[in-house]
Amino acid sequence: MKSFLNKRLNRQLLIPLVVICVVVVSLGILLGFYAYYLQEDYREKQSHLSEKQEIALNISDHAYQVLIRARGYYAFALPEEREALFDEYAQLQLNIEEFSRLDLSEEEASMIEEVHAISSRYYDDFLPIAMNLVESGTMEELQQYATSGGNETVNELIAMTNAYVDANNAETNRQAEAYSNSVSNLLMICLMFILLIMALLFSLFAVLFARITKPIKQLTAVSEELATSTDQGVELPITKREDEIGILSRSFGKMVVAIQEKEEELTAQNEELISQQDELEQNQRKLLDSLDETEKIKERLLKFNQLNRSISTTVKKQVLLDELIHHLDEIYQADKMIFTLTKDFCYSAKGLEQETIKTFIQTLNQGILPILTAKKEPYIVNRQATTAEKGIAETSVIAFDLYVPVYTSNDEIIAVFGSTRIGQPYKKEEIDEMIGAMNQIALAIEKTVLYEETEKNRQLNQDIIDHVNEAIQFIDYEGRLIHYNEAFVGIIKHLNSIGKQVPFNEWVQWMAQSVKESSQLESFFNYVNTNREPASTRYETVTADGRVFEVYAQPILRRKAFVGTILVHRDMTKEYEIDQMKSELISTVSHELRTPLTSVLGFTELMLNRDLKPDRQKRYLESIHGEAKRLTNLINNFLDLQRMENGDFYEEKTAISLHPLIKQVIEQFVPHYQSHHFHWRFDVDHDRIMGSEEKIQQLLMNLISNAVKFSPNGGDIVVRTKQEEDHVIIDVMDEGLGIPEQDRPNLFRKFFRVDNSDRRSIGGTGLGLPICKEIAEFHGGTIFLKSSSEAGTVFRIRLPLVKPNSTIQDELDREETQHAILLLEDDQALALLLVDELKAEGFSVKHVTTIQAGIAYVKAKNVDAFIVDLMLEDGDAGWEFIKQVKALEKTKHKPIFISSALNEVKEKTEAYDVNYYLTKPYPVKTLMKQIHDVLDEADGKGSIVFPH
């Protein structure tokens, strides 16, 4: 066994350690089992004590509850208290039986028997008597009996259980203290065991350490002696050990002998190696120099590579020149540099003042450029450096200026590169290298020039396309949207998301969202993209203005190969509106002309073919007259609107008051429309405007007439005025049918009528509102639909007011210088002619169409003469007007000019003292001359004149 251990160090160390570990583990297991036994024994005892203590506490609690319930029953004699008493007693008995079944000591068994006896004595002896006393109601006897010993019985039981609980707690504390002492003893044993193991390990390691380190120290000493001594006779240690240290010691001895034998040979070899090392060091220096040169070449090539990459990716001239200066400066490290184009004022420089750059470029064609053109190679100038260039140098310094031309493929100099080195000349290799670089740079410059020209042409083409009225788009063979102009962007709703290379389905979907009848347009685009042949269609946008476009497609072929399709969207809204207007005009004219003509023809045929009574003839003639007036109004409205739109409309503007005019217009409607209630409300004090009273009256007549027509069920019609800053607002409100929202944008379009059955039946020409719009704009105002619903419509007119003082004074001045003439004429065309001629002759003219309006004006204003049409709506109403004028004191001597197509009536001329009779037609100039003649005579007789 000893020889087995001595042959290996690991055996000498491992086997004692294994023995110690086995001992340690065995003792540890024993101590663990002992500690487990102590713990389990303590837990078991504590569990029994806790269970007994819990049951004892329950016995005490239930005994106390029995006492409480008994007292409650004694006091109140409640059955609930009695039942609770019995329940508590039952629980008390259960706890006593449960405690009896436990593993008890003699004292515990005696105690629980005594508790059981006390509880039975209380329940069997005391409680029945007390309950009988409660039931009999003898409370005094009950009180005496209760205090005679029943309660003390229960208290005794509670005291016994409490004493047991206290004893149990004391036993629990004692066992805990004993368990703590046992654990402390166990810890002390473990500590002593650990100390013993450490002592054994220390002794073991000390012995092993001595056995291992002693021979190692001997070998170390011998090694040091061999290293420091040149004596070949060093004594080696001798050992008989068979382990690794013994083997190492003997091997070391053999190695020393071998080293001593080889030392001379190694010395010779070392000398040879040293000589070789010197040679290697020289070669290494050469390689390092070559490596440095290679690195410089690599760095220079890298810089040229960066230069080539920059000029190959740059397409803008200025950016290209800046990149060239940057990279050429890194490569050649000049003090000053400039790179300029010869045909464009475009350059980039480094280290030069702005004035120097300007001078160089301005003198380039007279200075360096001719020299470079003649030499066809780089040009070098050696000169004395300036004071600024010398810097701190005390002696003279030479500056070297190098100019290198950049040739195009046509051998034209497109650019010049200039650089200056101070005190450092240019090598021939650098110049040759520059010439090669400039060839590459020339290609880059030509590329930028070509790019800019192409970009300029592209932008020009794009600008041309963007400024045409038609929307243009180009799709490729896959239907992708490739190009488009600004007009096309205006059609599509997706302004922010539109971009190049938009897939077919995506841009078609955008178009479909922007137009009405989207399915038809989608089918058209699918047809064009699939069949690749010319086609066209129309569509209407969903915008508020509802523009109409005609789109036509034309395939594009390149060398007979299909490359895409160009789609042109032509805005034909105006043409569409004209077509609509034509249709509406034809519809309106066919209805509004044919209806009265049918009546006229029908009545005239009846009168021609039948013998009719006079009263029927008169009724037919009145119908014919009414329809003729209807036709006249239609033609007059159409002519008025045309004159207004063509700019031929002219009316003299005077200062007029709106409120009397509004009342006058409303009063004309009141007698004829009993189902309507007319109101006016004036919320403005100053109501004077500059305008034509006749046209303002026409404007109000049209609006109120529409309010009446489109209120077939009657209702309130209100005209209200109010002031907004320097404008008067006139609102015309009704409670009629209202206007559908889709028709509101077209209200003021000629011949437009609401396409609705309940409105179409009302009739109309569609000219009233356009005329109102022209009249309002003629007076510097506006008219618009303020609101409209099923409860009615509100039209608002906004007209500029005049300043009160200046208006009155202007009117007074005008009245002092002009003759005022009142024209009573219901023929709008003739009235327009007469008004224009009279104003041209310098007269102030007021045109009215009814007797009531004329008399109201005469009473309010001064009139110098009258022009009267005898045939008005009421037959001889013109004579009635003359009669009323002659009856007024202020006008009975004013001259009256009769403008009528009727023949002379003897009775009327004799009754009104007519001197001579003239009939239509007559030259207007004749009328003007006679008016001047009569007014100039001013005889005050009130003549009545029939012009001829």
CATH 3.20.20.80 fits 468-571, yes or no: no
The average pLDDT across 461-473 equals 81
Question: What is the pLDDT at residue 403?
Answer: 93
User: What pLDDT band is residue 797 in, cutting at 50, 70 and 90?
Assistant: very high
The residue extents of the domains of the chain are 6-206, 229-297, 314-454, 468-571, 651-804, 818-948
The average pLDDT across 785-789 equals 72
468-571 shares the fold of 314-454: yes
Buried/exposed code over 655-686 (b: 16+ C-beta within 10 A; e: otherwise):
bbebeebbebbbebbeeeeeebebeeebebee
Buried/exposed code over 293-306 (b: 16+ C-beta within 10 A; e: otherwise):
eeeeeeeeeeebee
User: What pLDDT band is residue 564 in, cutting at 50, 70 and 90?
Assistant: very high
The average pLDDT across 282-307 equals 82
Give Cα separations from 80 to 85, 192, 854, 941 (angstroms): 9, 70, 112, 132
The average pLDDT across 172-195 equals 83
Return the higher-pLDDT residue of 56 and 257. Answer: 56
CATH 3.40.50.720 fits 6-206, yes or no: no
Question: What is the pLDDT at residue 775?
Answer: 85
Does the pLDDT of residue 328 top 70, yes or no?
Answer: yes
What does the pLDDT look like over 123-145, one tens digit per residue? Answer: 777 778 778 877 777 777 767 66
The average pLDDT across 725-732 equals 90
Residues contacting 771, CB < 8 A, separation 6+: 637, 640, 641, 644, 698, 699, 702
Question: Can the peptide bond before residue 921 be classed as cis, meaning omega within 30 degrees of 0?
Answer: yes
- Ranges 118-132, 311-325, 332-346, most confident: 332-346
Does the pLDDT of residue 284 top 70, yes or no?
Answer: yes
**Average model confidence (pLDDT) for the chain?**
80
Q: Residue holding tokens 């007021």?
A: 846
Following DSSP, what letter does each residue of 48-101 receive, concatenated?
A: HHHHHHHHHHHHHHHHHHHHHHHHHHHHH--HHHHHHHHHHHHHHHHHHHHHHT
The average pLDDT across 526-544 equals 89
Copy the structure tokens of residue 318: 């200025």
Chain center to CA of 16: 85
Return the higher-pLDDT residue of 359 and 247. Answer: 359
Question: What is the pLDDT at residue 585?
Answer: 65
- Cα separation, 871 vs 825, in Å, equals 9
> SS3 letters for 871-888?
CECCECHHHHHHHHHHHC
Class of domain 651-804: alpha beta
R_g of the chain, CA atoms, integer Å: 65
What does the pLDDT look like over 616-648, one tens digit per residue? Answer: 888 888 888 877 876 776 777 666 666 666 655
What does the pLDDT look like over 548-560, one tens digit per residue? Answer: 999 999 999 988 8
User: What pLDDT band is residue 337 in, cutting at 50, 70 and 90?
Assistant: very high
Copy the structure tokens of residue 797: 């007119």
- CATH assignment of 818-948, given 3.40.630.30, 3.40.50.80, 1.10.3720.10, 3.40.50.2300? 3.40.50.2300
The average pLDDT across 304-325 equals 82
| Neighbouring-strand partners of residue 688 | 657
The average pLDDT across 767-794 equals 81
Copy the structure tokens of residue 476: 């490729």
Does the pLDDT of residue 916 top 50, yes or no?
Answer: no
- Cα separation, 731 vs 721, in Å, equals 6
Percent of the chain with pLDDT over 90: 8
User: What pLDDT band is residue 232 in, cutting at 50, 70 and 90?
Assistant: low
Does the pLDDT of residue 726 top 90, yes or no?
Answer: no
Question: pTM value?
Answer: 0.37
User: What pLDDT band is residue 811 in, cutting at 50, 70 and 90?
Assistant: very low
- Range in 89-98, 220-229, 286-295, 387-396 with the lowest mean pLDDT: 220-229
Give the H/E segment covering residue 792.
Answer: strand 792-800
- Cα separation, 476 vs 512, in Å, equals 20
- CATH assignment of 314-454, given 3.30.830.10, 3.30.450.40, 3.30.70.3400, 2.30.30.100? 3.30.450.40
